[in-house]
Amino acid sequence: MAYVELIERPRRLIPRLADLYGRRRFGRPTEPVQAASHHSGVLVAGGLLETAAGMGWHALPGDLALLAQQATAGAIGCSWCVDFGYYEGLHHGQDPAKVRELPTWRTSTIYSEAERTVLEYVDAVTATPAAVGDDLVGRLHQHFSDRQLVELAAWVAIENYRSRFNAGLGLHSQGFSDACQVPSDP
């Protein structure tokens, strides 16, 4: 149960616009928007960040950006973000096996070296305190340009923001992943 009232039908302009956008894009209201509707400034700031990321962050291959976001949400334990990330990943062509095996990435054999390095980076950055060592930085530079590393750090940071916001307000899975058809292992 959410720690704040989820506003079903917002009356103020900015929350109404955010609600309308969510309903059009996802076919239903989203609980993070319903919770944030108590504070228009939070909605505007989050909306601007999400818009900038969605429209202008394309240096890192999309599958790696999604993988980093999903791993971050899992590391934090935000069920809303894990659920939604699963939905988004599969709708953007992400390999379903890589989504399923994310919790066991260290022992899985399906991830490339670049993907494994991204996942290790996610763990290091999401830890408290962050613990990114020189060895990891060296391996990141083997796969990514400085521009891509900046974007990777930003994706991990934005997912930390999302996941901690949602978890901090008691938001849980809304069942987005229920709409996904993931083939079972052969």
pLDDT digits (tens, 9 = 90+) for 125-147: 999 999 999 999 999 999 999 99
* pLDDT of the residue at 173: 87
Whether 84 shows a pLDDT value over 90: the answer reads no
HSE, side-chain direction, 13 A CA sphere, residue 145: 6
Across the range 45-55, mean pLDDT stands at 95
Q: Which residues contact 148 (CB under 8 A, 6 or more apart)?
A: 59, 60
Average pLDDT of every residue of the chain: 92
Give the separation between CA 49 and CA 43, rounded to whole angstroms. Answer: 10
* pLDDT of the residue at 180: 59
Q: Cβ-count burial of 69 within 10 angstroms (0-12 exposed, 13-18 middle, 19+ buried)? A: buried
Whether 24 shows a pLDDT value over 70: the answer reads yes
Task: Say what the pTM is.
Answer: 0.90
Domains of the chain, each with CATH number or no CATH: 13-56 (no CATH), 62-179 (1.20.1290.10)
Q: How far apart are the first and last CA of the chain?
A: 37
Higher pLDDT, 57 or 178: 57
Sign of torsion over alpha carbons 103, 105, 110, 112: positive
Whether 149 shows a pLDDT value over 90: the answer reads yes
Which residues in 94-110 are b (16+ Cβ under 10 Å) and which e?
A: bebebbebbeebeebee
* pLDDT of the residue at 21: 93
